[in-house]
Amino acid sequence: MTTNEHPWRDWIPGVLSKNQVRQLIRCGHLRGVDEDSEAIGNASFDLSLADLGYVCMRGSIKPFGGPYEEPIKRDGLIDRLEPQPDGTYILKAKQTYLFKVAQRLCIPSEAQIYGQATTKSSIGRMDVLARLVIEQMTDYDTYRPLKNGQSFGDMFLEITPITFPVRVRPGLALTQLRLFYDDPQSVEIQSNQLYSNILAADGEEVDGTLSVDLSPITVSGEAVSAFSARPVEPGGDPLPLWQEEDPQHRLDPCKYWQFERLDQQGRLTIKERDFYILRSREHIAVPKGIAVYCRAFDETFGEMRIHYAGFVHPLFGRERADGVRGTPLIFEVRGHDVNVSLRNGEKMARLTFYRMSEDVENADQSYNDQLLQLSNRFAPWPECIKVDPDGSVRPVKEADS
């Protein structure tokens, strides 16, 4: 294993693996991450919050190429957010915040290392938008080498909870960064054979796109095609965005979510301003030498916004506990200003396939066995439930069910 200051000279272009990210850490090019940390995954690593947060007084502030924090502070666009007595921060729904990220990039431009960021799936499923800002960049969620020889990049995370007020704390990871050796476009793979090897959709042809699956599944004995969020009552407690170790101590799903069923025509109504969890009809099984990026066809697809733009890591869907090959992806969908009638099989997203710079060894297990699943911040659904006509879910004793 190379320990020189220029490990990329031994690499081939592609998405960096866990081993390659560790090499960057050892060489001092990525600071604030322990090389043995569980935050480093097969094809990305988590970025955590520092103990410095701001309220964005006039909404989100797009990166503009150059220093970021001081200019917007000087212009009165941000105001310091004070922590609670326990050290956590409360973020109100529909308010935008900015937090400094604990990690820092110190990568020479000669390395030709690029980056893409995306909200972690567990956070997106709670209707929280998190966008990475890297100083000297001009776009969200993007890192590219500069022409001046050295890229010293302080990073910030713009956070906007939408449905729920939430609570965060220093050290919490809401987003992840995927690094590439060479321009991501240069390591894209477009191949119908690859699509058919990775995607399965009940015998139908696949083309590198994802469609929605509205067919009902059974949860606790009840049929459900989607989940929709139930906003917290005014004055309600903010939801912690960290995961409790004991599943029984996690958030009660009955309190925050309801079941959605299809109408008589087999369609689902996406109601204006409501938030939904849906799944893809295609099941995906990723080889060890491929990483995938999923993005919506159009973020404003009709009159609904598709949040999902996320990473799929090597070996996802290939090492399921039940032995089944392939796992659906989750769509996080929000209605806009009018209702939308959604049909089964409607196209929702497109996949981009990238070559890994080196193959991975073992699968990351998060959501590997999912079907239609909430964020892992929520406890499992109770074994016995009652679904009311409006979709509200109540736990019941077995004798009453």
Task: Write the burial class of residue 333 (CB in 10 Å: 0-12 exposed, 13-18 middle, 19+ buried).
Answer: buried
Residue 363 in domain = yes
**What's the one-letter identity of residue 389?**
P
Q: How far apart are CA 132 and CA 244, in angstroms?
A: 25
Tens digit of each residue's pLDDT (9 = 90 or more) over 231-283 = 888 888 999 999 887 877 899 999 999 999 999 999 999 998 899 999 999 99
Residue 304 in domain = yes
Closest C-alpha among 51, 67, 138 to residue 101: 51
Write down the pTM of the prediction.
0.93
State the pLDDT at residue 368. 75
Tens digit of each residue's pLDDT (9 = 90 or more) over 64-110 = 998 999 999 999 999 999 999 999 999 999 999 999 999 999 998 88
Tens digit of each residue's pLDDT (9 = 90 or more) over 284-303 = 999 999 999 998 765 555 55
Tens digit of each residue's pLDDT (9 = 90 or more) over 123-160 = 999 999 999 999 999 999 999 998 766 666 799 999 99
Residues 177 and 289 in one domain: no
Residues 388 and 331 in one domain: yes
Residues 329/309, Cβ–Cβ less than 8 Å? no
Domain range for residue 128?
A: 7-188
Q: What is the CATH number of the domain that holds 167?
A: 2.70.40.10
Q: Tell me, what DSSP letter sits at residue 53? A: E
SS3 127: coil
Residues 260 and 345 in one domain: yes
**What is the longest distance spanned by two Cα atoms in the chain?**
71
Last residue of a domain, one of 154, 188, 222: 188
Residues 131 and 196 in one domain: no
State the pLDDT at residue 379. 94
Residues 161 and 172 in one domain: yes
**147 contact partners, CB below 8 Å, separation of at least 6:** 109
User: Rounded mean pLDDT of the chain?
Assistant: 90
Last residue of a domain, one of 155, 188, 221: 188
Q: Average pLDDT for residues 46-61, to the nearest whole number?
A: 97
Number of domains into which the chain is organized: 2
